Amino acid sequence: MKITTRWQKDLTFVGTNEKNQSITMDGEGNAPSPMQLILMGVGGCSSIDIVLILKKARQNIADCICQIEAERAETDPKVFTKIHAHYQIIGKELKVNQVERAVKLSMEKYCSASIMLSSSVDITHSFEVIEE
């Protein structure tokens, strides 16, 4: 994996991957900040796992929404101290035990982003099943 980050102006940067796909980030609130992108990575990584696990379990999933709340240290470096991911899993006749299993497997075994952070951050998760 290779990423290039290039300064645009002020505190705006563009990160580009090997496939020339890019994302803008900013330190002044004009685009997501690098720390927000880390949380988006956790949400995206774990949600991909959850959808794949539930589809493999033949669950009729229609949507997966991950809402993340995080706390940061008050002094530099302002690292994350707590992260809580809440998943809303929407579908028809979803089995709660299958959803619980998918969320747990993602957060504890498969999601590289959350597992990488878990050695230094208190990461918790919850979920709800919403019938479509």
- What CATH number has the domain bearing residue 67? 3.30.300.20
pLDDT at 76: 97
Q: Are 126 and 86 in contact (CB under 8 A)?
A: yes
Instruction: Indicate whether 38 and 28 sit together in one domain.
Output: no
How many other C-beta atoms can be found within 10 angstroms of the C-beta atom of residue 89? Answer: 26
Instruction: Indicate whether 53 and 21 sit together in one domain.
Output: no
pLDDT at 2: 98
Query: How many independent structural domains does the chain possess?
Result: 2
Q: Tell me what percent of the residues of the chain surpass a pLDDT of 90.
A: 100
Instruction: Indicate whether 48 and 77 sit together in one domain.
Output: yes
pLDDT at 3: 98
CATH number of the domain where residue 2 is located: 2.20.25
pLDDT at 129: 98
> What is the sign of the dihedral through the CA atoms of 61, 38, 3 and 14?
positive
| Domain range for 14 | 1-32
Instruction: Indicate whether 38 and 83 sit together in one domain.
Output: yes
> What residues contact 126, with CB distance under 8 A and at least 6 apart?
84, 85, 86, 87
Instruction: Indicate whether 69 and 88 sit together in one domain.
Output: yes
Low-confidence ranges of the chain (pLDDT < 70): none
